[in-house]
Amino acid sequence: MALFNQKTAGTLTTQLGAILGDINRLRADIAALSESASMDQDHHRLNVWRSRLDSALAKETKLRAEIADAVAAERLVERDKAFDVAVAIGNQAAQAGAELAKVIAGIWPAVRKLIELDDAFRAAVPVRPPDWDEHAFTRDLISLILNEGEWGNNGQPIFLHQSRGK
């Protein structure tokens, strides 16, 4: 929703302030003249001021509704801007994820070879010291990979942010 040709809530609030000033002035004038009105001319002036007061009160009601609409429209514009920022960040994250997936796909054969060699090495060692698993690089790497992604049919990682249909 665009705010083209629409008055802002601030502009409308300024107008409301002027109308409220008129209303207060008219009420004071009506109260003062009501106490001292003695001639037909004074009563006629009171009727004119009361009519102006009614008109100003109607304008106040209308302006308050317009202000509420303007505030809602301005909030929607701000929300749309925030969503646009979020979409831009999401697109950047998807692109970064795609680049990371390419890098991982490039090193995946070396990772698999390292895992196989580590498994073979661990199987070949006849006696293990008490701190054997303290620096288990491949186990930690596999844990990280398994926690961060899933595996495709070709044995390559599919990260959670990627589409499974690709």
CB neighbours of residue 63 within 10 Å = 20
* Dihedral over alpha carbons 83, 84, 87, 88 (to 10 degrees): -140
- d(C-alpha 137, C-alpha 144), whole Å: 11
Query: Is 4 a domain residue?
Result: no
Model pTM greater than 0.75?
no
pLDDT in tens, 18-74: 999 999 999 999 999 888 888 889 889 999 999 999 999 999 999 999 999 999 999
- d(C-alpha 8, C-alpha 2), whole Å: 11
Query: Is 2 a domain residue?
Result: no
Q: Is 8 exposed, middle or buried (0-12, 13-18, 19+ CB in 10 A)?
A: middle
- d(C-alpha 155, C-alpha 108), whole Å: 9
CB neighbours of residue 12 within 10 Å = 21
pLDDT in tens, 24-38: 999 999 999 888 888
Name the domain count of the chain: 1
Q: Whole domain around residue 27: which residue ranges?
A: 9-159
Query: Is 164 a domain residue?
Result: no
Q: Are 19 and 56 in contact (CB under 8 A)?
A: yes
The CA-atom distances, in angstroms, between 60 and each of 11, 19, 48, 57, 102 are 14, 7, 18, 5, 63
Query: Is 108 a domain residue?
Result: yes
Residue 113 confidence (pLDDT):
86
- d(C-alpha 155, C-alpha 105), whole Å: 10
Query: Is 103 a domain residue?
Result: yes
The count of residues in the chain is: 166
Query: Is 37 a domain residue?
Result: yes
Query: Is 80 a domain residue?
Result: yes
Residue 151 confidence (pLDDT):
56
pLDDT in tens, 85-112: 999 999 999 899 888 888 888 888 887 8
Query: Is 166 a domain residue?
Result: no
